[in-house]
Structure 1
Amino acid sequence: MSTTTETDSPGTAPAPAGGGPALLGRTRGRWLLLAAGLVLALVLPWVIYPPVAMDIAAWALFAVALDLLLGYAGLLSFGHAAFWGGSAYVAGLTALHWGLPFPLAALAGAGFAMLLAWPIGVLSVRRSGIYFAMVTLAFAQMLYFIVNQWRGLTGGENGLQGVPVHFFGLEAVETDAFFFYYAALPLILLGMWFAWRVVHSPFGRVLVATRDNPARARALGYDVERYRILVFVISAGLAGLAGGVFAISHGFVSLQEVAWQTSGKVVLLTVLGGIGTLWGGIVGAIVIVILEDQLASSGFEGIGIITGSVFIAVVLLFRRGIWGTVSDALARRRGERPAAEAVSAADGEEGL
């Protein structure tokens, strides 16, 4: 099997053989990085407007969910808005009509996203590359049409308005975006932890093998399609969890949540931060959400022009995205081989 299955992830260099101080240093650095990320999540609503902080957290989980599929399975989906938006509508409807506490409403939306993803995944994963992307986009557009036409349930073009925040009668959480952020943050962190566990599990290593050399994975007895369907469903569930939290945070669900532009935006966030790193999606969400908020606050109307220009600049200057490029630079500084070079070298040695 490809040597890439022995790495911590496609976004990190392989651990030094034999362990020792270098391996200990990497382990300590990983824990310090996780601690820094947790601190950033906790202080975020203190330094920026709490609703914007909540948007960053939700979009970050959405990008991590897509990266699980794109970076580790090699499948580019242009239909993930179906899971983000479908979950948003389900979470909004359960909160409106059943009065569920928002964590349960968001989890209900995530469950719906996973149920929706299963048949889509079964029909899509037999394709790859642009064909997979177009099939997922087609299914997402079908859901967009259904949501738009089913006005009695979804509100059509008017969307779902007045989605309430229920949280066991705690008024501070239900009325104040600052406290809502901290009540919703555990859901976001749980989703990110689950994605991390998937990547650093035997399942994740087999997933990378199916991405790098599916023919060899099949020869070794792995059911490539089954692994791809499973990761597709997991990715959809995490995207749905993010979409449910986002919808309840805003108190409104619009057609924009199931539009193809939403799928394009999350792809932008993932590529901008760095594919196959998990952390890259978080970085991409921070950059784009803050940039959009600042431009909107200033009254600038051509937000897409600016974000598109930033995306082009990053792709041209940072081939592996912001986080991937920084990680490789730090690896070189420590005298380690960057992940991309390590993978290429390993594949080259196996081809001799």
Structure 2
Amino acid sequence: MADTAAIASVDAAPILPALSEGRDVRALHRKIMLGIAVFLAVAPFVLYPVFLMKVLCFGLFALAFNLLLGYGGLLSFGHAAYFGMASYLCAYAAKVWGLTPELAILCGTLTAALLGLVFGALAIRRQGIYFSMITLALAQMAFFFSLQAKFTGGEDGIQAVPRGALFGTISLADDRALYGLVAVVFLGGLLLIYRIIHSPFGQVLKAIRDNEPRAISLGYRVNQYKLAVFVLSATLAGLAGSTKAIVFQLASLTDVHWAMSGEVVLMTLVGGMGTVFGPIVGALVIVTMETYLAQFGAWVTIIQGVVFVLCVLLFREGIVGLVARIARRPL
């Protein structure tokens, strides 16, 4: 009996610290989430609300892309298709159909989900660079469709999109009122992505990312998991694009252009691919540069390139990835 107890204690020894560390990490993440919520509640009284809403929209876009790349291991060069098409449909639904903002956003999000299902079913048949090239080709098809279709307004886009009244009662004409909606959408998206990452589904995604042949040998239907995370990522990207259309009262070709796909890749890598909070920091950095360095004109793109090169050379894990490595805690 003594030997059995000794063996049990030895076996449990490495497990208990791991469980304790897991609880510590979850507690840290809860504190960060609370800190973000507090910051969002105070920020509109200190900073320009429209700037904050732009950061939140692109932060959600980057989080959606990171779900696909950082946890699914799938590099898409065409995520602007879902962001942009959702923006168009949301704007059209609000301006032409006269839908309330929540219904218009839902319409755009569902459009992105459907488009992600179709494009994803085609793209996941290939791996690596071939997968990336297919996503880029499909996104370019979406771009030229947006350019030629009558309802998109062509090069003019859809302008003067009404913000309307939330649930038909709360007017969103005031920037701070609209900011409250955008903040809730962002936090909801962040919590949903966090839950996905830490669910059994998310653990399988990480296994597929790290060793796909092994996941197949264990009996997992890898293509179904890839398609599921592709659709989830496209849907959340569409949610970000729809919200952005309401904020800026505009849907244009910029939203669906290939440069937008490159921009979200940049946000994710600068902030920290495969981290929970990295894409938010990356979006904050890039949007801040675009906003406050706009006086330099086309040089902003060059400055972004320099920042990207420095990030790759000095800290390949990204800003949050570097902090996580120093703190020895996953962020």
TM-score by length of 1: 0.86
Give the superposition deviation at 1:22. Answer: 4.3
Match of 1:329 among 297, 313, 326: 326
Give me the whole-angstrom Cα distance separating, in 1, the residues matched to 2:247 and 2:195: 27
Structure 1: runs of 5 or more not aligned: 1-15, 332-337, 340-352
Give the superposition deviation at 1:86. Answer: 0.5
User: Does structure 1 residue 255 correspond to structure 2 residue 256?
Assistant: no
Give me the whole-angstrom Cα distance separating, in 1, the residues matched to 2:273 and 2:319: 10
Give me the whole-angstrom Cα distance separating, in 2, the residues matched to 1:92 and 1:279: 29
Structure 2 SS opposite 1:175: coil
- One-letter code of the match for 1:31? R
Contact 1:92–1:253 (CA under 8 A) maintained in structure 2: yes
- One-letter code of the match for 2:326? A
2:185 maps to what in 1?
Answer: 187
Give the superposition deviation at 1:28. Answer: 2.5
1:4 maps to what in 2?
Answer: none
Give the superposition deviation at 1:184. Answer: 2.3
Q: 1:73 to 1:24 in 2, by over 3 A?
A: closer
- One-letter code of the match for 2:129? I
Contact 1:95–1:105 (CA under 8 A) maintained in structure 2: yes
Give me the whole-angstrom Cα distance separating, in 1, the residues matched to 2:296 and 2:309: 23
Task: Give the aligned CA root-mean-square deviation in angstroms.
Answer: 1.7
Give the superposition deviation at 1:105. Answer: 1.0
Give the superposition deviation at 1:37. Answer: 1.6
Structure 1 SS opposite 2:293: helix
Give the superposition deviation at 1:241. Answer: 0.1
User: How is 1:1-352 mapped onto 2 (pairs within 5 angstroms)?
Assistant: 17-19=15-17, 22-150=21-149, 152-167=150-165, 168-170=167-169, 173-296=171-294, 298=295, 300-331=297-328
Give me the whole-angstrom Cα distance separating, in 2, the residues matched to 1:122 and 1:265: 24
Give me the whole-angstrom Cα distance separating, in 2, the residues matched to 1:291 and 1:308: 12
Give the superposition deviation at 1:18. Answer: 1.1
Q: 1:223 to 1:23 in 2, by over 3 A?
A: closer
Give the superposition deviation at 1:224. Answer: 0.4
- One-letter code of the match for 1:269? M
Give me the whole-angstrom Cα distance separating, in 2, the residues matched to 1:215 and 1:155: 46
Give me the whole-angstrom Cα distance separating, in 2, the residues matched to 1:282 and 1:57: 8
TM-score by length of 2: 0.91
Give the superposition deviation at 1:98. Answer: 2.0
Give me the whole-angstrom Cα distance separating, in 2, the residues matched to 1:73 and 1:210: 7
| Greater CA drift, 118-127 or 197-206 | 118-127
Structure 2 SS opposite 1:41: helix
Give me the whole-angstrom Cα distance separating, in 2, the residues matched to 1:145 and 1:329: 45
Give me the whole-angstrom Cα distance separating, in 1, the residues matched to 2:232 and 2:326: 31
Q: 1:116 to 1:300 in 2, by over 3 A?
A: closer
2:5 maps to what in 1?
Answer: none
Identity of aligned residues (%): 45
Give me the whole-angstrom Cα distance separating, in 2, the residues matched to 1:129 and 1:278: 23
Give me the whole-angstrom Cα distance separating, in 1, the residues matched to 2:324 and 2:44: 27
Give the superposition deviation at 1:41. Answer: 2.2
Cα deviation, 1:234-287, whole Å, max 9, x if unaligned, reads 000000000000011001111011100000000000000011112110000111
Q: 1:223 to 1:162 in 2, by over 3 A?
A: same
Give me the whole-angstrom Cα distance separating, in 2, the residues matched to 1:300 and 1:48: 23
Structure 2: runs of 5 or more not aligned: 1-13
Give me the whole-angstrom Cα distance separating, in 2, the residues matched to 1:130 and 1:220: 25
Give me the whole-angstrom Cα distance separating, in 2, the residues matched to 1:103 and 1:52: 21
Contact 2:57–2:182 (CA under 8 A) maintained in structure 1: no
Contact 1:81–1:260 (CA under 8 A) maintained in structure 2: yes
Cα deviation, 1:98-124, whole Å, max 9, x if unaligned, reads 222212211211111010111211111
- One-letter code of the match for 1:148? L
Give me the whole-angstrom Cα distance separating, in 2, the residues matched to 1:308 and 1:216: 37
